[in-house]
């Protein structure tokens, strides 16, 4: 592994140099071979599980790694905290993958830092394995996401509501720059640091931006907005609910980050929320687009001093971008939903079909994933067609009539739906079953589960085993923050 450390070249106010805290008995539990190959990690190292456990527990630093804890702030459930930062994470450095992309290598659960806020800096095994499962699933589903390279058991206990086995998870990200990173320096009035951070972010993620001056900042804001729209629409396509869309969990790169209290929607309902800490349903499934807009408004606020010294004039320049967010999001959302119905265009007729479908889906608590699978199968299967006619009434025939009137061939519609609608998602009860086995130190079927999740658009031998929703409809399911 050939590490570089470009973030460390910024001013000292951006981070704390700090080494991970060694653990008692590191043991490599999960290793992501395909991701390791993308990172050009040598085969001889990949075959040395003992050394991997040392590196990815934080007990031993790879050559060239310069661990730091990053500083950032953030709005948490709408309330601003001016100083958060990596309280249990260490950025080891950066690698160049086989696509020539610079990526961060970070440990989570690797010990306390100056930003720990009296926390122990550790992670329990369950949340670490959840992040591995969910990030692999999201990547295979085609959703922009951070990835997990490894999970290492620490041989130590962490204490939450009760004693849990400890673990360290290795996260791979395009970067760990967040909206909250910009808020941190803006709130302090440190405009030199804010300007350096913005230039670093542009050079790293948006090098296509060639404008100068205030227009460069505006173009950067628009680029981040575009990425966030793409991300949240992708979440909506597969029924993902983030659970904690705070600005410190909003990555500038447009990747999904933080798989703590996340979950998947089974039966369709805009108000679906599972996070135990989201008591007011701020981050419910149907709110995610609006929250993304709110988060982008917070980024715009942080950038105002770089756009114009006169705040009124700066606001006038960025406000149209934030106001246009809803229009952009709606256009992208309906195009995505059109594709789920086998339609290439999201014209007024298709938008009406989408809206009219979602009403009975919510009223009848129809399974989000399986309903679209059934629609695709019904194009060539009368059994599925007849069942859907009963469930969806006149809507079903209206949809079929539209495909005919728009000259959409059945095989073309079916192919588009197959590419857009996954056969399998990481359903909450299946994820929890695997986590329970790990925590009880039982033999698990995670390899079979991961195999299915890594190929979600094709029917494999065991796919059907993971397609059914839970018998109780997840009515009592709750997720919890991994801290």
Tokens of 362: 């919510």
Q: How far apart are CA 394 and CA 408, in angstroms?
A: 20
Residue 78, C-beta contacts closer than 8 angstroms, at least 6 positions apart: 282
**Which of 86, 104, 219, 248 is flagged as catalytic?**
248
3-class DSSP state of 122: strand
The conformation of residue 16, written as its DSSP 8-state character, comes to E
CA 184 to mean position of chain CA atoms: 22
> Reduced to 3 DSSP states, what percent helix, strand and coil does the chain have, rounded to the nearest 5?
50, 15, 35
Residue 344 in 3-state DSSP? coil
Distance from C-alpha of 95 to C-alpha of 65, rounded to nearest angstrom: 10
Q: Tell me whether residue 113 is exposed, middle or buried, using C-beta atoms within 10 angstroms of its C-beta: 0 to 12, 13 to 18, 19 or more.
A: buried
Q: Is 248 a catalytic residue?
A: yes
Q: Where are the alpha helices (DSSP H) in 170-267?
A: 179-188, 191-205, 213-238
Q: How far apart are CA 139 and CA 464, in angstroms?
A: 20
Contacting residues for 415 by C-beta, under 8 A, at least 6 apart: none
Task: For 50-106, give the DSSP string.
Answer: HHHHHHTTTSSPPTT---EEE---EEETTEEES----SSEEEEEEEE-TTS-EEEEE
Name residue 122's beta-bridge partners: 110
Q: Residues 6 or more apart from 284 whose CB is under 8 A from it?
A: 241, 270, 271, 272, 273, 278
Give yes or no for a contact between 111 and 26, defined as CB atoms under 8 angstroms apart. no
Which of 176, 214, 220, 175 has its CA nearest to residue 198?
Answer: 220
Cα 410-414-418 angle, rounded to 5 deg: 175
SS3 category, 367: strand
Distance from C-alpha of 389 to C-alpha of 373, rounded to nearest angstrom: 15
Give buried/exposed letters for 161-188 (b at 16+ CB in 10 A, else e): eeebbbbbbbbbbbbbbbbbbbbbbbbe
Which residues are annotated as catalytic?
248
């Amino acid at each position: 592994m050939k590490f570089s450390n470009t973030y460390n070249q910024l001013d000292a106010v951006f981070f704390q140099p700090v080494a991970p805290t060694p653990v008692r008995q590191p043991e490599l539990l999960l290793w992501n071979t395909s991701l390791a190959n993308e990172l050009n990690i040598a085969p001889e190292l990949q075959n040395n599980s003992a050394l991997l456990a040392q590196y990815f527990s934080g007990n031993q630093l790879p050559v060239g790694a310069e661990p730091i804890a990053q500083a950032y702030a953030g709005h948490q459930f709408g309330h601003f905290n001016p100083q958060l930062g990596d309280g249990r994470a260490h950025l080891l450095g950066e690698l160049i993958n086989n696509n020539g992309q610079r990526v961060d290598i970070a440990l989570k659960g690797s010990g306390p830092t100056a930003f720990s806020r009296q926390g122990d800096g550790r992670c329990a095994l369950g949340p670490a394995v959840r992040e591995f499962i969910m990030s692999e699933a999201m990547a295979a589903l085609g959703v922009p996401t951070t990835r997990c390279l490894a999970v290492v058991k620490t041989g130590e206990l962490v204490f939450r509501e009760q004693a849990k086995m400890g673990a360290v998870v290795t996260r791979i990200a395009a970067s760990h720059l967040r909206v909250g990173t910009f808020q941190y320096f803006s709130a302090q009035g440190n405009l030199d640091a804010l300007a350096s951070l913005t230039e670093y972010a542009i050079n790293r993620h948006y090098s296509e931006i060639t404008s100068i001056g205030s227009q460069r900042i505006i173009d950067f804001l628009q680029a981040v907005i575009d990425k966030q729209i793409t991300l949240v629409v992708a979440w909506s396509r597969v029924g993902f609910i983030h659970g904690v869309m705070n600005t410190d969990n909003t990555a500038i790169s447009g990747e999904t980050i933080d798989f703590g209290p996340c979950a998947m929607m089974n039966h369709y309902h805009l108000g679906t929320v599972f996070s135990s800490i989201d008591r007011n349903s701020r981050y419910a499934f149907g709110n995610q687009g609006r929250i993304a807009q709110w988060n982008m408004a917070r980024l715009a606020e942080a950038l105002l001093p770089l756009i114009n010294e006169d705040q009124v004039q700066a606001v006038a320049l960025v406000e149209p971008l934030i106001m246009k967010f809803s229009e952009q999001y709606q256009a992208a959302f309906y195009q995505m939903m059109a594709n789920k119905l086998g339609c290439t265009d999201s014209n007024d007729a298709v938008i009406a079909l989408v809206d009219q479908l979602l009403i009975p889906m919510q009223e009848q608590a129809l399974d989000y994933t399986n309903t679209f699978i059934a629609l695709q199968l019904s194009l060539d299967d009368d059994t599925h067609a007849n069942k859907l006619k009963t469930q969806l009434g006149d809507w079903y025939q209206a949809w079929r009539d539209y495909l005919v009137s728009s000259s959409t061939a059945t095989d073309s519609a079916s192919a588009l739906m197959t590419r857009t609608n996954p056969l399998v998602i990481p359903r909450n009860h299946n994820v929890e079953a695997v986590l329970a086995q790990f925590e009880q130190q039982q033999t698990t079927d995670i390899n079979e589960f991961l195999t299915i999740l890594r190929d979600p658009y094709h029917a494999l031998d065991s796919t059907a085993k993971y397609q059914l929703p839970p018998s109780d409809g997840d009515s009592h399911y709750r997720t919890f923050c991994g801290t």
